Each structure stands twice: as structure tokens, then as C-alpha cells.
């Protein structure tokens, strides 16, 4: 691991300003992703700003009937919160399908949103990777690509966003609140937070250097039957091959987002108009323009079948 300096911040504004002062600085929260990347020298920050002392570990009710989740709320606590379990079941289920109990005890809401891809070549520093080293090439294109994207990919990168929580937050239309190094605050809809790879796969999200996530806002409860289903190689401690988050209302209208298929949680609002027509029609809309490889072509049928199972589950819920 490369040497780095370390400072514990006490206020969000101080944390953002401190991170912006040192080029290449990173925030550290639970450390469950960042420390692994540092040990492998995939990330080599010169300075770490520890955000664990910021008072951002509460889940508060908002005046419009929603919830405001602090950036440091641990995944375990968010999944177990009685309001989340009752009103945002899709989120609680997505969180509980992720990682392991020990990891969820450390992992934070902000860190989870910002976890990096699990592309094998991104982790193998002997192999070219445009995300790790811009301009070096993509080893997954023409390589082993079982976990890789089938929609929204580019000639530069076919990696997927690996997380579960953000897929549920996408279907819930969550908003991400931040503080910038100059002390200014802004709100980013989750739809605009994660980016597609395009020609710059190393640029993964909408945050500016030094910009700190302070909260995630959940709009008032959407009601309906809420389901999260994750298909993976093992029943625990494995990332999604495909996941589906769905909220379906009694009148048959609804929302659907996919995990494991793109560089960001994948939602196509127009496809949701087809929910009453059945899973195949929704899947066709979600996966329009899909491009597969010999290793990940199975994801098309897997999305269709998982979506069918999820829509059936929403009728039972």
C-alpha cells in the first residue's frame, strides 16, 4: 500500500474543504471497498479524510412524509429501521441481499452508493483497463465477461455497477444531498448520479472533487407491493448476475429497475408502461438495444425470467 496522510473531519463542510485541498484525496467511511482497492494499489490516495465522526448517522422523517438517511447510516441499521421495513421494503430487502452481516455492519449509505465495479480486470493490475488507467484498453472486451454489462456499455468499458441498495433507491426515486468544498449544497436525483461509461469510464458519478454526500432522501412512501430479487452464483456473499427491484400498485401500474446489467442501476420509465402486458414486454423495453457477449448472453433470458418471477411475487405480496 502507498503511504498516505490521514485526518478525521468534524463537520461536513470541513471534510469537503479538506478533501478538495489535497489533489487525489478520498473520504473514508466504512473502508470496506476503499481499503481493498488501496491494498491492491488500484486507488492510491495521497490523503484520507475520515468522515466517521460527522453527525450523519441518523434516519429522520421529512416534512413531506419521506425519510432522510444520513450518509453514515450503516447498511445493517438502514435495513432494520422499522419505517424502512414497513414503507420501503424493496430497499430493506436489497440491503439484506448484499455482502455479509459483518460487511453490512461497517458499510455506509454513501460508501455503498460509490462502491466500484467488480470487473475482474479492473482488479488485475497486470491487465489493461480503461477505468483504472484511461487509454490503456479494455481487457473484458474479447475477454471473460460473464458479469459484464448488456446495456448502456461502450467501446471503452463494459463493466457493471455491482451494488444492490442503489437499484432499490433508483426505483424509489431517491435524491442525493451533498456539500461542496465551498460550503454550497446541492441535490442530485439518483437517476443522474451514476454515469454510463462512454469514453470516460473512470468518471463514474456526478460528484465534483471534494464533494461530500451528506444524506439520501427518500420521497414519501410509494405504497404498492415491493419486491427485490437477486440472482447470483452463491446464495450469499456474491454480487448480482441480475437483480430486479419492483414496485407494483393494485391498479397494475408500477416501476422496475435492474441491477447487474449496466454501468448504473438500470431503469427505463417507458418500459414500465408495459407492466400490465407482462414481464416479456417490460424486459424487451428495458433491454432494447442490448449487446451481449458469448459469456453474458444468458443475462437476457435471466432478466426475462427474474422479472416474471418478481411480477408474480408482487401479486402475492
Ligand X SMILES: Cc1cc2nc3c(=O)[nH]c(=O)nc-3n(C[C@H](O)[C@H](O)[C@H](O)COP(=O)(O)OP(=O)(O)OC[C@H]3O[C@@H](n4cnc5c(N)ncnc54)[C@H](O)[C@@H]3O)c2cc1C
**Closer residue to ligand X (CB): 57 or 284:** 57
| Residue 224 zone, left/alpha/beta (φ > 0; ψ -120 to 50; rest) | left
Cell triple for residue 134?
484511461
Residue 160 makes contact with ligand SF4 by CB under 6 A:
no
140 binds, among ligand X, ligand SF4, none (CB under 5 to 8 A by kind): ligand SF4
The whole-angstrom separation of Cα 142 and Cα 158 is 11
Residue 282 makes contact with ligand X by CB under 6 A:
no
- 31 by Cβ neighbours in 10 Å (0-12 / 13-18 / 19+) ranks as middle
- Residue of 27, 95, 110, 121 that binds ligand SF4 (CB under 6 A): 121
- Residue of 17, 110, 119, 167 that binds ligand SF4 (CB under 6 A): 119
Residues 122-151 that bind ligand SF4 (CB under 6 A): 122, 129-131, 138-140
- Residue of 73, 157, 213, 244 that binds ligand X (CB under 6 A): 213
- Residue of 96, 113, 159, 168 that binds ligand SF4 (CB under 6 A): 159
The whole-angstrom separation of Cα 303 and Cα 306 is 5
Letters for 56-75 (x = contact with ligand X by CB under 6 A, - = none) are ---------------x----
The whole-angstrom separation of Cα 287 and Cα 167 is 16
- Residue of 108, 117, 292, 296 that binds ligand SF4 (CB under 6 A): 117
Please name the helix (run of DSSP H) or strand (run of DSSP E) that holds residue 315, with its range, or none.
helix 298-316
**Closer residue to ligand X (CB): 87 or 164:** 164
Residue 201 makes contact with ligand SF4 by CB under 6 A:
yes
Beta bridge partners of 266: 258
The whole-angstrom separation of Cα 47 and Cα 102 is 26
Helix, strand or coil, per DSSP, at residue 77: helix
Helix, strand or coil, per DSSP, at residue 279: helix
Size (the chain), residues = 317
The whole-angstrom separation of Cα 317 and Cα 315 is 6
Residue 239 makes contact with ligand X by CB under 6 A:
yes
Q: What is the DSSP string of 25-64?
A: -EEESS-TTHHHHHHTTSS--SEEEE-TTSS---EEE-TT
Residue 179 makes contact with ligand X by CB under 6 A:
no
Please give the backbone phi and psi of residue 93, each rounded to the nearest 5 degrees, phi first: -70, -40
Stretch that binds ligand X, among 23-31, 136-144, 147-155, 219-227 (CB under 6 A): 23-31
**In contact, 260 and 239? CB cutoff 8 Å:** yes
**In contact, 217 and 187? CB cutoff 8 Å:** yes
**Closer residue to ligand SF4 (CB): 197 or 210:** 197
The least distance separating ligand X from the CB of residue 104, rounded to whole angstroms, comes to 7
Residue 34 makes contact with ligand X by CB under 6 A:
yes
Residues 105-134 that bind ligand X (CB under 6 A): 106-108, 110-112, 114-115
**Closer residue to ligand SF4 (CB): 119 or 169:** 119
Which residues make up the interface to ligand SF4 (CB under 6 A)? 117, 119, 121-122, 129-131, 138-140, 157-159, 201
Which residues make up the interface to ligand X (CB under 6 A)? 26-34, 51, 71, 98-99, 103, 106-108, 110-112, 114-115, 163-165, 212-213, 237, 239
Amino acid at each position: 500500500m502507498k503511504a498516505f496522510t490521514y485526518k478525521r473531519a468534524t463537520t461536513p463542510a470541513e471534510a469537503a474543504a479538506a478533501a478538495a485541498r489535497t489533489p487525489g484525496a478520498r473520504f473514508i467511511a466504512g473502508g470496506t471497498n476503499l481499503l481493498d482497492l488501496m491494498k491492491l494499489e488500484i486507488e492510491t490516495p495521497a490523503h484520507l479524510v475520515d468522515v466517521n465522526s460527522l453527525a450523519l448517522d441518523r434516519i429522520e422523517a421529512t416534512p413531506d412524509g419521506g425519510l432522510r438517511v444520513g450518509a453514515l447510516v450503516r447498511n445493517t441499521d438502514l435495513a432494520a429501521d422499522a419505517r424502512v421495513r414497513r414503507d420501503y421494503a424493496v430497499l430493506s430487502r436489497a440491503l439484506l441481499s448484499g455482502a455479509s452481516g459483518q460487511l453490512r455492519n461497517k458499510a455506509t449509505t454513501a460508501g455503498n452508493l460509490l462502491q466500484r465495479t467488480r470487473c475482474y480486470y479492473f482488479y488485475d493490475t497486470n491487465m489493461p483497463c480503461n477505468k483504472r488507467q484511461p487509454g490503456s484498453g479494455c481487457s473484458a472486451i474479447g475477454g471473460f465477461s460473464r458479469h459484464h454489462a448488456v446495456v448502456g456499455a461502450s467501446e471503452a468499458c463494459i463493466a457493471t455497477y455491482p451494488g444492490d441498495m442503489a437499484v432499490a433507491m433508483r426505483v424509489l426515486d431517491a435524491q442525493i444531498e451533498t456539500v461542496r468544498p465551498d460550503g454550497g449544497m446541492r441535490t442530485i436525483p439518483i437517476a443522474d448520479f451514476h454515469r454510463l461509461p462512454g469514453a470516460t469510464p473512470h468518471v463514474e458519478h456526478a460528484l465534483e472533487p471534494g464533494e461530500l454526500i451528506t444524506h439520501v432522501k427518500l420521497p414519501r412512501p410509494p405504497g404498492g407491493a415491493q419486491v427485490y430479487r437477486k440472482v447470483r452464483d452463491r446464495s450469499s456473499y456474491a454480487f448480482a448476475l441480475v437483480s430486479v427491484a419492483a414496485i407494483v400498485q393494485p391498479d397494475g401500474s408500477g416501476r422496475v429497475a435492474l441491477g447487474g446489467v449496466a454501468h448504473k442501476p438500470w431503469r427505463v420509465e417507458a418500459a414500465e408502461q408495459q407492466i400490465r402486458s407482462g414481464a416479456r414486454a417490460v424486459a424487451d423495453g428495458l433491454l432494447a438495444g442490448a449487446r451481449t457477449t458469448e459469456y453474458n448472453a444468458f443475462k437476457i433470458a435471466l432478466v426475462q425470467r427474474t422479472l416474471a418471477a418478481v411480477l408474480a411475487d408482487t401479486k402475492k405480496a
